[in-house]
Structure formats: structure tokens, C-alpha cells
Amino acid sequence: MASRPNILLIVVDSLRADALGCYRPGVESTPNLDRLAREGVRFSNYFSQSSWTLPSFATIFSGLYPWEHGYFNHRDYYRGGNFLSAGQENGYDVRCCVAFAFFQINFNLPRLTAGSVKKNDLADAAGYVERLVGSRDRRTPRLVFWHIGSCHLPYFTEEQIEPTDRIGSLFQENIFGGFSPSPRVPGTLLPLFSKVFRHPLTGKICRQLKNAEKLKKPFHGMINRWGGERERTVLELTAEINSGRMKLTPEEIRRLREAYSYSAAVTDQHLAGVFNRVKNAPGREWVVIVTSDHGEELMERGVFWHKTSLYQSIVHVPLIAWSSGGREGGRVESAYRSHVNLAPTIMELAGMTHRRPGYSLGKGFAPPAGGEDGPVICADLRSLAIIRPPYKLILTAAADIDYNDFSSVRLARTELYDIEKDPGENNELSSGRTELVSGLKRELIFRIKGGDSSSHALTPREQRRLTEELVSLGYL
């Protein structure tokens, strides 16, 4: 099948749709993604199925709904289908480049650049993907998956963070020399480094640094300015803020949002080279798809981070598709689509014909022939949402939802919004709309019933490694 295109799927972790200029007029810090949208197709109503990385990626890879893959726990292996493995089985040269090492343990991705490309190595990762895209092999179609962690908390900032800054650990500063690939630690940083030597995580940085020096490999370790790699504090602070124990000032909220936008801008800058390479690649057509696994709450409702809710700030994510065939020319697709449609779309594009258990049998991005679009459904352990435009119903449970026994769900809150008139979800409409609410609830329950889940225990070694990483990312 000579006509099968090369495919590059870029998933920018924690990137809200409205962080991009093409989704929010007035934002001017994402020119490369905006240009890609102008030359390709942009889905204006696109959603992630869940509020955080793990269940969302299980859906991205399989095209299954969260209650179908049942994958909410990072202590389990993901055993379901993965279009990347399918690509490999179907003759694609599949390469994966990820920012967080837990992909390796959880998802068993083929040809993974294993955990060596972390958040701090964005320039290295971009260089690696540029080389993949520019590869001379024209005979084998390529399928490249690039997960980018640079919009994930802690954010990049241009600010000088003072040691006394009570929200300083929400930002991260590159102590070891920005993005310039230097194999050595600048001497001036050594005193600072020794000052923080006692911190347990600093030992890790130290080992990575020595290893990088030995291999003469660029290293971009980041520690917070006041002298400690204290990412754990990100979680402590998040918990304090989200529980209301710490109240952020308007100025702190502004700084938080500014750093988030800056992180999106830095990410966008690093995409320029890859897009350039793809646009000038001779031979086989390239299809580039850019999306995110979930958005981010930035104190719109008094909380921040993700894994928090199914509001628009969390589930409304970008989806830009571009092809070197250039057929779309800036079209904006307003049909409601979500990550369950992504794997089927890619599998179809790649001419992957076989379907195995564990893959979605669902629909791609194209509208269903002769039928109406189904609703978008998002699901977490504590909340569910169904979107039948213009309405969105969000159900919040009193305890974790057992998707095998859905009848036992106890609801703590029911919210109804008109997301077309009120995208900020400020006007809750459920009272007085009993019929609409119960209709949406019925449809939601009808679609969720019949799910399945599987799990597999990790070995103690894998468990330790994973726990370490999740702590450093702030999940534990």
C-alpha cells in the first residue's frame, strides 16, 4: 500500500484549547500551531474523554471509552488495544517519544525513546523528532507519536522566583542552562547544587547529571531557584489551594495563568523545526495531528491543575490536523468529536484493516453516514459528563464510581450548562429543566452500561519506579 501516509501524532500534555491563538482570538504566542491550523483543519468542538493523563491516553490509544478500558489506576498495566502496536503489525515504522517515563511501564509502547526525554528535554525531543521526520527511508511509512510535557505543572516562567515565594514551586526554573545543549554543568551552578545536596530528589538529578556528562549528552536538569528540587511541593500546594486552606491572591492567580501561557508559547516555539521539516519532507505524504490529553483548570472555579473535574477548561482540547497534501486549507470543523474518534481515524488513514478485541469499533472524524452524531461522553472515577450540543450535563458522584455496578452510583451534584451560549459554564440550568436532565442522564447510563475492565499487578521494582515518577509529577 504505497499510498499510506506518514503520520505524526503530537499530544501536548495539559494543553487547553483556549491557550492557542487559533482557538482564542487575541492570543498571539502560538504562531506555529496557529499556522498549522490555517493550513489544515481545526476541530473547534473537540474533547478529551477524561481529566488526566492515564485514562485519557488509554482512550487515545484504543478509541475506547474510559469505562470500557477501565484504566484509571497507574498501578495497573494497560492491556487494551493500542493503534501504535497495530501500526507496527501493519508495516509502519513506529517510533514513540515521550516526556514521562510512566508511558513505558503503563502502556508498553513500541520503539519507545524510553523515559530519556523528559519535560526538561524539550529541545532534545524536538531534535529527535526532527531527525525521525527527516529520515531518508522512503520505503516504509512512518508513524511517530510525540508526547510533550512542557505545559504540565510546574510551569515554565520568565519570572525570577524568590525563595520566600509561597507559590514558587508551581513554577520551574532551568538552573542548568536553558535549552542550550551543553554537556557540562556551568561552574557557577555548582555551589547551588551542593547546597541542595541533602534533598532526596537531588540525588536523582545528581546521578542523571553525572551520567549525562559521562555520555557527553546534553542535559537540562531543572531545580527551583531557591535551592531544591521540590516538585513534591507542587502537590502539597495544589492540595492546600484546592481545599481552600490557602487562598491565592489575584496577583498570584495572574502569575499562574501567565506562566501557563508562557509554557504553551515555549512549546509552540519548539514545534517550529518539526513542522518545517515535515513541510519540506520529500516523497510520501505526511499527516500531522496535534491534540492534548486534557486541559488545565487555572483558578476559574477556585481550583487548578487537572484530574479535578470535567468542566470545559479540562475537557475542551485542541485538535488540529494537517496534511502535506494540503487539502483542508484552514477549514474549521465544528462537529463535536472526541478522543474516542482519534484511533479509528488514524487506523483508517494508515490503512490498518484488522481489528482485534481491545480496539474501538467506533467512528472516526467523518460524520456518520445517514445517522446523527452521538453525544460526547467524558468519564472519570468521580464524575461523568454528556454533551448533546448545546447542552452539557455533568454528574458528580459522592464516591468513586464502580463502572461494573453503575446502579450503585450516588450522585452528589447535577449540573447542566449551555456550552454554546455559556462556554465558561457560569449559568447552571438544571433547576426547571427536569425533563432535559433526566433525558441526558438516561442516555448517559444507557451508553455506559456493559463496560469491561482488566488489570495486572506490577512487580515490586516496577511499582517503586512508577511511584517515584508519579510523586515527581505530583500525582501521589
Residues that bind Zn ion (CB under 5 A): 13, 53, 293
Phi then psi for residue 126, to 5 deg, are -60, -40
**Judged by CB, which is closer to Zn ion: 229, or 293?**
293
**Judged by CB, which is closer to Zn ion: 60, or 237?**
60
Q: Which residue has the cell 501567565?
A: 258
**Judged by CB, which is closer to Zn ion: 47, or 391?**
47
Strand order through the sheet with 411-418: 376-379, 383-388, 391-397, 411-418
Burial class (CB in 10 A: 0-12, 13-18, 19+), 355: middle
CB 260 within 8 A of CB 155: yes
**Judged by CB, which is closer to Zn ion: 293, or 469?**
293
**Sign of the dihedral defined by the CA atoms of residues 115, 121, 124, 125, in that order:** positive
Shortest distance, CB of residue 406 to Zn ion, whole angstroms? 26
Lookup: cell for 308:
479535578
Shortest distance, CB of residue 292 to Zn ion, whole angstroms? 8
Phi then psi for residue 12, to 5 deg, are -90, 115
Shortest distance, CB of residue 422 to Zn ion, whole angstroms? 26
Lookup: cell for 157:
516562567
Task: Report the residue closest to Zn ion, judged by CB.
Answer: 53
Shortest distance, CB of residue 13 to Zn ion, whole angstroms? 4
**Judged by CB, which is closer to Zn ion: 13, or 297?**
13
Lookup: cell for 124:
532534545
Closest CA to 33 of 20, 24, 43: 20
**Judged by CB, which is closer to Zn ion: 256, or 350?**
256
Q: How far does Cα 463 stand from its chain's mean position?
A: 23
Question: What is the DSSP code (8-state) at residue 408?
Answer: G
Shortest distance, CB of residue 27 to Zn ion, whole angstroms? 21
**Judged by CB, which is closer to Zn ion: 77, or 475?**
475
Q: How far does Cα 268 stand from its chain's mean position?
A: 15
Shortest distance, CB of residue 3 to Zn ion, whole angstroms? 34
Shortest distance, CB of residue 363 to Zn ion, whole angstroms? 24
Closest CA to 314 of 18, 21, 51, 58: 51
**Judged by CB, which is closer to Zn ion: 202, or 267?**
267
**Judged by CB, which is closer to Zn ion: 32, or 53?**
53
**Judged by CB, which is closer to Zn ion: 278, or 315?**
315
Shortest distance, CB of residue 263 to Zn ion, whole angstroms? 13
Shortest distance, CB of residue 472 to Zn ion, whole angstroms? 14
Lookup: cell for 315:
475537557
Long-range contact set of residues 183-190: C-beta below 8 Å, sequence gap at least 24: 183/212, 183/213, 183/216, 183/217, 183/218, 183/219, 184/213, 185/209, 185/213
- Give the separation between CA 298 and CA 308, rounded to whole angstroms: 11
Residues 6+ apart with CB under 8 A from 321: 40, 41, 43, 287, 288, 289, 290, 328, 365
Shortest distance, CB of residue 92 to Zn ion, whole angstroms? 25
**Judged by CB, which is closer to Zn ion: 13, or 380?**
13
Note the maximum CA span of the chain.
69
Closest CA to 119 of 152, 145, 92, 70: 152
CB 16 within 8 A of CB 65: no
Shortest distance, CB of residue 270 to Zn ion, whole angstroms? 18
